[in-house]
Chains A and B, each alone.
Chain A
Amino acid sequence: MLCKIRSALPTIIISLFATSAHADYQFNLQTAATPIATEIYDLHNLILLVCLIIFVIVFGVMFYSLYKHRKSVGHKASQFSHNTKLEIVWTIIPFFILVGMAFPTTQTILRMKNVEGTDMSIKVTGRQWYWEYEYMDAGINYVSNLATPRDQIDNKAEKTAHYLLEVDQPMVVPTGKKVRLLLTASDVIHAWWIPAFGVKQDAIPGFINEAWFQVDKPGIYRGQCAELCGVGHGFMPIVVEAMPQEQYDAWLKSQKDKLAATAEAATKDYTLDELKIRGEAVFNSRCAACHQANGQGIPGVFPPLVEGATFANQDTLKRLAERGFAKDGKIVLGPKDKHLDIVMHGIPGTAMQALGEQMTDLEVAAVITYERNNWGNKAGDVLQPSEVATVRKPKG
């Protein structure tokens, strides 16, 4: 019965609208990829159908009355104003309809909330404005950034098919496994959402929320952050790639190799230009959302990073001045060690968060070197990954 509704409803609705051939109209929930999403799809159709039937009956009566009992056709008003039996009936019938809706819903809720028997756990951390995935059992973690080029957003380049729904490194999961998500956030509330999975869960700083999904069909699934989290809210998509177990194992191995390579890279010394090239990429994915690609920030909200620029937020300026990065209301290029301190530990009381935990030594070194030698900033100094390693507190 439910399946019939599911297949028939979109057809009915679509036939009501004449759509042009190229248009990409979608009228119902996305195609489900998990059992829970399928249940949600059916539930929505069921409820919608009940609502539609009631709507047609009630407004059928009303519009019949509007047509037949018009003054202009000379209908004389009768003066009744009560009918206790009728009133009792139309109070009780909806109650039973609601009970009928609540029953299957409750069953689905209980299944959604059941996180027993999961095969693997991924810790998901929402940050302004990207996601970080930590594979608890495999010991790897990485961040996942928006991959859409800035030029597409600014309408300077043609938008590609997965505009705003593409990332540099997707979450990768094996098919047929029950994956448990442990969600949290580092700054503000975010929400992790993949429509095809029927999973939407707030990621709240300081707390852990749980969710789970099991995908059987290999493929790429896309979603977005679903809780307003600041200026980058529309620009932190979620992409999950589901693949068979063997492929997943191979992916896991490649990730571990990559981590080892990164650790090795951190011990090397780099030239200024090498670091600047790496630093630009890091800056654009991590810092540009606030400080902007041109380093000018957003007036009054996010300070510029360019020497000589002005900034209107006195409170932030004071904090910058304490660290040697502002003087007489203008931004100046402060000392290298303070620069490192800000990136590693953030500026308490502002939106500048501690980024040390989320970036490798090389990334920190590269982005700081880039900031100090770009947009007309001429510090001339180079920060090496080894210097970053010395200020990192031992984990524990």
Chain B
Amino acid sequence: MATTTMHDAHHDAHPTGVMRWLTSTNHKDIGTLYLWFSFLMFLFAGGLAMLIRAELFQPGLQFFQPNLFNQFTTMHGLIMIFGAIMPAFVGFANWQVPLMIGAPDMAFPRLNNWSFWLLPAAAILLLVSFLVPGGAVAGGWTMYPPLFIQGGMAYDMTIFAVHLMGLSSIMGSINIITTILNMRTPGMTMMRMPIFVWTWLITAFLLISAMPVLASAVTMLLTDRHFGTYFFNAAGGGDPVMFQHIFWFFGHPEVYIMILPAFGILSSIIPTFSRKPLFGYDSMVYATAAIAVLSFTVWAHHMFTVGMPTASQLFFMYATMLIAIPTGVKVFNWTATMWRGSISFETPMLFAIAVVCLFTIGGFSGLVLAIVPVDIQLQDTYYVVAHFHYVLFSGAAMSIMAGVYYWLPKWTGHMYDETLGKWHFWLTTIAFNVTFFPMHFLGLAGMPRRIPDYALQFAEFNMLQSISSFVLGASQLLFLYIVIKCIRGGVPAGDRPWEGADSLEWTLSSPPPYHSFETAPAFK
């Protein structure tokens, strides 16, 4: 109590040095931690992708044996999803949600700190697993049994890492959802919240619903591995396909967990640089909610080849196709927002426009994959790899980049280097497309995914993709440089560097004071 009082006494002062980060209860500091952590993981998992592409540069086994290659693909997926994209969005939520709703901090500042610090613990388990006998998990990020039952020590480490990350996500989401529901400034009704806040509210709901299901699934994997249970083994009346059902009941909402906040970022950026209010706010909210609800009814479209009855296949196909409608509404709304605006093309806007285009390509390939007979040809091929990189890299990751450029002036108080930002944008966008677009062709032509070596007819595209992927990887180092440069200095940003921006965070100074909105801001 004594120490508490001491700190409270001068509450704008805060611990400095490493203490500031280890013990923080400040949403901005914790947001920064999340963002840096995710960036680090992004670079690490991106490095794994470079190794994968190096091996796939030519047919034949050049650098890595299949066992190690499978570890790379598995860990690339796990770390990108749980270590890079999800924490990055939570970082945005931490920084932006309190600022956008005029709250003094998150609802549970200490819990917020714990949500973050569980992630390094999970990361330690995952990264160290590369060093244990047998190496890291090599059974795919989807962890399907019985293959997952066969592995060694690293598989247990991954299970516990998933538990920790799940715990982190659940606590983080409870925090975000409570903050949004309970801490809006007077006058900000639900239907007047910025869309970013809405998308995170729904994302948090999805996380709280989905992550415990994943925890259950991996717990059953653990007992099957070590305690002789038969959940996923036919000999005891269990079923490997049951795992897939439970996993994808988590996994499909997870897909939207990784894209809804991206939609929120786009819906913040596009109106700003079109100098026009967002078109169709209400339908945007309803579309987001519709996507969230539908996301719980489509999971088995990941499993069209497991031998489901015809009726199930039809149901899951129809439900999946329906998702195209609310997603389409969003794209139409963004287009209408730009229509007859006064558009300028700063880096965040460039990224946002690219995301809308490229995400739509990913959406269309998703629609193609929803068609059961076509999916049967394309399931587990490079077409799927192309599809989910179009939604996850050019959808989620590039939205994160857009958001970073958009709010970096607010967070640091300096403008980023616009020329370098544009270089980063063009390099990323072009290299991304050259890397991933030909994967559609490879998948159609019959190249399975998750193979370390391939038949000769796939050689040309693979070589092209590898070269381009190295460019894509190197461009992200430029991003790192731009961010660091911006933090260290630059043209002062002023309170509102974007003339079209109008949400509450732009009423604060740049960077905002350590404790902002200590009195509720006016909201008209």
Contact = CB atoms under 8 A, between A and B. Distances in A.
Interface of A: 23-30, 36-37, 39-40, 43-44, 47-48, 51, 54-55, 58-59, 61-62, 65-66, 69-72, 75-83, 86-87, 90-91, 94-95, 98, 101-102, 105-106, 108-110, 112-113, 152-155, 159, 161-165, 187-189, 191, 193, 195, 198-202, 204-207, 209-210, 223-235, 298-301, 312-313, 315, 350-351
A102 B59 CA distance: 39
A201 B158 CA distance: 29
23 contacts: A27-B441, A40-B373, A40-B374, A40-B376, A40-B377, A44-B368, A51-B364, A51-B368, A55-B360, A58-B332, A65-B339, A66-B343, A70-B343, A95-B325, A105-B373, A159-B59, A204-B234, A226-B379, A228-B147, A234-B450, A234-B452, A299-B134, A300-B133
B373 A36 contact: yes
A28 B444 contact: yes
A83 B240 contact: no
A234 B448 contact: yes
Given A75-B343, A188-B150, 4 more contacts: A24-B457, A29-B446, A207-B241, A315-B152
B387 interface: no
Given A77-B276, A200-B305, A163 B367 contact: no
B356 A62 contact: yes
Contacts of B353: 62, 66
Contacts of B364: 51, 54-55
Interface of B: 59-62, 65-67, 70, 132-135, 138-140, 144, 146-147, 150, 152, 233-235, 239-241, 274-283, 305-307, 310, 313-314, 317-318, 321-322, 324-325, 328-329, 331-332, 334-336, 338-345, 353, 356-357, 360-361, 364, 367-368, 371-374, 376-377, 379-381, 441, 444-446, 448, 450-457, 459-461
A351 B451 CA distance: 20
Given A29-B377, A87-B283, A198-B377, A69 B66 contact: no
Contacts of B343: 65-66, 69-71, 75
A313 B280 contact: no
A374 B299 CA distance: 51
A35 B54 CA distance: 39
B448 A224 contact: yes
A100 to B, nearest CB: 11
A51 B376 CA distance: 19
Contact of A102 (B132, B318, B341): B318
B135 A300 contact: yes
Nearest to A111: B373
Nearest to A155: B60
A207 to B, nearest CB: 6
A81 B455 contact: no
Looking at B317, B335, B357, the one whose CB has the most chain A CB atoms below 10 A away is: B335
A48 B443 CA distance: 15
Contacts of B374: 40, 43-44, 47
A154 B307 contact: no
Contact of B314 (A48, A75, A106): A106
B66 A91 contact: no
B279 A351 contact: no
B340 A69 contact: yes
A206 B461 CA distance: 38
Given A55-B360, A228-B139, A195 B377 contact: yes
A94 B376 contact: no
B422 to A, nearest CB: 15
B349 to A, nearest CB: 10
B448 A154 contact: no
B325 A228 contact: no
B456 A204 contact: no
A200 B444 contact: no
Contact of B70 (A62, A202, A224, A228): A228
A296 to B, nearest CB: 12
Contacts of A110: 310
A83 B306 CA distance: 44
Contacts of B322: 98
